[in-house]
Amino acid sequence: MKFLLRAQEYKLVVYRILLAYVFYFIARVLFYFYNADLLHVDSISSFFKISYYGLTFDTSAILYVNALFILLSIVPFFINTRQWYQKMLMLVYFTTNLLAYATNFIDFIYYKYNFSRTTLSIYNATKNEKNQSTLLVSFIYHYWHVFVLFFLVSFLWYWLYKKVSIPFIKNTVHPLKYISISILMLLMIATLMVGAIRGGDFKKSTRPINMVDANRYVSKPEHADLVLNTPFALIRTARVNSFKKKNFGISEKKIDTLFRPLKAFHNLEKSRPNIVLFIVESYGKEYLGAFNKNTSIKEFKSYTPFIDSLAQHSLIFTNAFANGYKSIHGMSSVLAGIPSFHDAFTSSVYAKQKIQSLVSCLKEEGYDTSFFHGASNGSMGFLGFGNILGIDHYYGREAYNNENNFDGFWGIWDEPFMQFMKKELDTKKQPFFSTIFTLSSHEPYIVPKAYENVFPKGKLPIHQCVGYTDHAFKKFFEAAKKEPWFENTIFVITADHSNQIQYKEYSKVMNRNTVPILFYKPNNSLAGSSNNLAQQIDIYPTILNMIGYDKPFRSWGRSLVNDTLVKPFAINYSGLQYQMQRGNYICTFDGNKTLGIFDIHDKSLKHNLINNKNKEMLEVELACKAFLQDYYSKIIDKKLY
């Protein structure tokens, strides 16, 4: 039949779309190559099995990205095979595909820091940065090989695209028949595309696939990131509000039994010590010797000699976890006891509400409150969230006002900025509560020229930066101990999240976000080491407990020094699933159903015990659901005070 002349055009479209599948597979291979130490694929056959399941997510992304190209290729314009029109199609094809495809290459590197595929939450984390162009240049410089790879692969894609073309075909079919048959084919193709984009399901009652669906196909949680592709993750998180109520039918009384979210301490001796809180950029537990004394890691090396010495006179928690995986997550978790899961709480529409926090409670007690961060005001969203919490004074790069100590990327080096903070504290009326968020242990991992060969460079780029920040701590404490306020101060050290990983033990899924938690008081009244589960959100109630705060306050965390009513636990989000550790078990949960129950020592989540639940397993599952039900309810209903 004459109308089959268009079959050549349809074949060409199929060829060009199949090329996208080939290159998405290449991207998956490269993603694995760059992150093999975190993805733990046992064999080539396992990799191909994962890649097969990934086709569903590749299809969704490819058809989303190529929707305009496919439409322009098959609409009955009568000119579709003309040379100028084919050139226009090629421009549309490579503009849309390469923009989307490039995001896969970003995750070759970024996955090591984020431990999940990049989503649109990255926009919220970077939109306030004034140094975006500098950071991009730095990224290109340090990871030039990724850019070379991208251009080589893109050129190969272009070459294969040009290998198959179509000559101009003059239409000799009656226009009405040509249009009607073309429209019929367009409708059929569009219908198939809708089903494929949704995940191969045409049922209206079934939602389109999203990121958590990748967990259905794997036994190891980290393999879900290999099933996924970054364009899909970005598309599926566009205009998605992850803050939605979850009702698992758990009573308020049961929630109170499990977490006691409305707390009150009684019969405690009141005191008014100063509080100085350090949230240290990317300072994972892996780098600190004092927190790895009982490690089974052979030839373990510490990069923090000063903090290790300080820990000998401190109360430390060696089994502590971050409640998020970005810097801004750390600020809300530590200061307000509000963890972040799928998206940062601070970037949500619910952040602008009255929030009870460490800041508000200490201000009630007459504390002067301040926040120090050596980057430009607005960086990371710290200034905005600090204003919501009611912090009295914000000191950033502008307040420091000396560009001679600018690191060229993020802000003021840690050593001079800590000294700046110390001088500001010298002028404050006691009691004061001051938080500093450091920045020198951040990518691109450089130290001041004067220290370039001073600290051990170790196995990872971050190691010498860890050593430099440890040195900054030493200089700070040496200067601070000479001041009258020092003896009456509780110092707290933790990290926002972990970062680059050297040891296999810390590449295990549940160990990727381990952080130090340390409390130090110069009179040695705080001392000891605990291996109980702890987390960032515990710091807020612990400090209030230490000063004898006796008013009711809202917190999902627990006091680490005096709370026998709430069982130790830790909760976080991997990018694909919630993870709660409690008692002898770990529960993984996708927001609707439990995915797995694992022994507390099975940090790799290898052996799923979900089919053999006992009473305690049911309890940790219930606790996970109860936490999420209360968390989303209180945030959405604006009951954080």
The tens digit of pLDDT for each residue in 223-235 reads 999 999 999 999 9
| 3-state SS class at 265 | coil
The yes-or-no verdict on residue 420 having pLDDT over 70 is yes
In-domain check, residue 241: no
What whole-number distance in Å separates Cα of residue 122 and Cα of residue 7? Answer: 43
- Give the mean model confidence (pLDDT) for residues 536-548: 97
Please report, rounded to a whole number, the percentage of residues in the chain having pLDDT higher than 70. 96
Provide the pLDDT for residue 517: 98
In-domain check, residue 568: yes
> Using a CB cutoff of 8 Å and minimum separation of 24, what contacts does 70-73 make?
70/13, 70/17, 70/189, 70/193, 71/186, 73/9, 73/12, 73/13
Return the sign of the alpha-carbon dihedral for residues 446, 512, 531, 495: positive
Specify the range with the lowest mean pLDDT, choosing from 297-301, 313-317, 344-348, 579-583. Answer: 344-348
In-domain check, residue 641: no
The yes-or-no verdict on residue 170 having pLDDT over 80 is no
CA distances from 522 to 113, 367, 421, 482 (A): 35, 20, 19, 12
Last residue of a domain, one of 211, 236, 261: 236
In-domain check, residue 265: yes
Non-local (6+) Cβ contacts of 503 within 8 A are 286, 297, 300
What whole-number distance in Å separates Cα of residue 605 and Cα of residue 624? Answer: 17
Is there a contact between 375 and 130 (Cβ–Cβ < 8 Å)?
A: no
Specify the range with the lowest mean pLDDT, choosing from 97-111, 302-316, 374-388. Answer: 374-388
- Give the mean model confidence (pLDDT) for residues 119-128: 66
Cα 16–chain centre separation: 35
Is there a contact between 489 and 522 (Cβ–Cβ < 8 Å)?
A: yes
**Ordered DSSP codes for 518-562:** EEE-TTS-S-EEE-S-EEGGGHHHHHHHHTT--S-EE-SS--SSS
Give the number of other CB atoms < 10 A from CB of residue 286: 29
Is there a contact between 259 and 627 (Cβ–Cβ < 8 Å)?
A: yes
The yes-or-no verdict on residue 636 having pLDDT over 70 is yes
Instruction: Place 205 in a pLDDT band, splitting at 50, 70 and 90.
Output: very low
Same domain, 428 and 520: yes
Last residue of a domain, one of 171, 202, 236: 236
Strands 585-589 and 594-599: antiparallel
- Residue 102 buriedness (CB in 10 A; 0-12 / 13-18 / 19+): middle
The yes-or-no verdict on residue 100 having pLDDT over 80 is yes
Domain boundaries, position 201 = 2-236
What whole-number distance in Å separates Cα of residue 485 and Cα of residue 430? Answer: 8
- Residue 162 tokens read as 């040009």
In-domain check, residue 245: no
- Give the mean model confidence (pLDDT) for residues 185-212: 78
CATH number at residue 553: 3.40.720.10
Instruction: Place 125 in a pLDDT band, splitting at 50, 70 and 90.
Output: low
> Quick check: bond before 522 cis, omega within 30?
no
Same domain, 192 and 59: yes
Q: At what angle do helices 382-389 and 327-336 cross, to 10 degrees?
A: 10
CA distances from 541 to 44, 324, 390, 545, 548 (A): 49, 18, 18, 6, 10
The yes-or-no verdict on residue 626 having pLDDT over 60 is yes
Is there a contact between 62 and 20 (Cβ–Cβ < 8 Å)?
A: yes
- 448 membership: H or E segment, kind and range: none
Is there a contact between 214 and 57 (Cβ–Cβ < 8 Å)?
A: yes
- Residue 549 tokens read as 């705060």
What whole-number distance in Å separates Cα of residue 157 and Cα of residue 260? Answer: 57
Provide the pLDDT for residue 418: 98
**3-state SS string for 35-52:** HHHHHCCCCHHHHHHHHH
Sheet of 528-530, strand order: 393-395, 368-373, 432-437, 274-280, 489-495, 517-520, 314-317, 528-530
**3-state SS string for 282-340:** CCCHHHCHHHCCCCCCCCCCCCCHHHHHHHCCEEEECCEECCCCCHHHHHHHHHHCCCC
Provide the pLDDT for residue 202: 56
In-domain check, residue 205: yes
Same domain, 23 and 66: yes
Provide the pLDDT for residue 378: 78
> Quick check: bond before 444 cis, omega within 30?
yes
In-domain check, residue 458: yes
The yes-or-no verdict on residue 326 having pLDDT over 90 is no
Instruction: Place 631 in a pLDDT band, splitting at 50, 70 and 90.
Output: very high
Higher pLDDT, 124 or 181: 181
| 3-state SS class at 494 | strand
Q: Is 249 left (phi over 0), alpha (psi -120 to 50) or beta?
A: left
Same domain, 339 and 280: yes
What whole-number distance in Å separates Cα of residue 399 and Cα of residue 396? Answer: 5
Phi/psi at 93 (5° precision): -60, -50
The yes-or-no verdict on residue 121 having pLDDT over 70 is no
Tell me 512's DSSP state: T
The yes-or-no verdict on residue 474 having pLDDT over 60 is yes
Instruction: Place 124 in a pLDDT band, splitting at 50, 70 and 90.
Output: low
How many structural domains is the chain composed of?
2
Give the number of other CB atoms < 10 A from CB of residue 154: 17
CA distances from 98 to 90, 95, 390, 601 (A): 12, 6, 44, 43
In-domain check, residue 247: no
Is there a contact between 287 and 466 (Cβ–Cβ < 8 Å)?
A: yes
Higher pLDDT, 129 or 339: 339
Same domain, 227 and 256: no
Last residue of a domain, one of 236, 265, 297: 236
Same domain, 362 and 510: yes
Instruction: Place 3 in a pLDDT band, splitting at 50, 70 and 90.
Output: very low
Phi/psi at 240 (5° precision): -105, 125
Is there a contact between 322 and 497 (Cβ–Cβ < 8 Å)?
A: yes
What whole-number distance in Å separates Cα of residue 434 and Cα of residue 369? Answer: 6
Instruction: Place 2 in a pLDDT band, splitting at 50, 70 and 90.
Output: very low
Is there a contact between 517 and 494 (Cβ–Cβ < 8 Å)?
A: yes
Same domain, 408 and 509: yes
- Give the mean model confidence (pLDDT) for residues 459-465: 96
- Give the mean model confidence (pLDDT) for residues 3-28: 90
The yes-or-no verdict on residue 576 having pLDDT over 80 is yes
Same domain, 627 and 549: yes
The per-residue pLDDT of the chain, averaged, comes to 92
The yes-or-no verdict on residue 138 having pLDDT over 60 is yes
Higher pLDDT, 43 or 124: 43
Instruction: Place 1 in a pLDDT band, splitting at 50, 70 and 90.
Output: very low
Q: Where are the alpha helices (DSSP H) in 349-461?
A: 358-364, 382-389, 397-400, 414-426
- Give the mean model confidence (pLDDT) for residues 58-83: 93
- Give the mean model confidence (pLDDT) for residues 72-92: 92
The yes-or-no verdict on residue 7 having pLDDT over 50 is yes
Same domain, 445 and 537: yes
Same domain, 151 and 59: yes
What whole-number distance in Å separates Cα of residue 490 and Cα of residue 543? Answer: 9
Give the number of other CB atoms < 10 A from CB of residue 2: 12
- Give the mean model confidence (pLDDT) for residues 177-205: 81
What whole-number distance in Å separates Cα of residue 350 and Cα of residue 352? Answer: 5
What whole-number distance in Å separates Cα of residue 389 and Cα of residue 454? Answer: 39
Same domain, 220 and 328: no
Is there a contact between 69 and 92 (Cβ–Cβ < 8 Å)?
A: yes
What digits encode the pLDDT tens for the residues 487-513? Answer: 999 999 999 999 899 999 999 999 999
Provide the pLDDT for residue 328: 85
Same domain, 38 and 95: yes
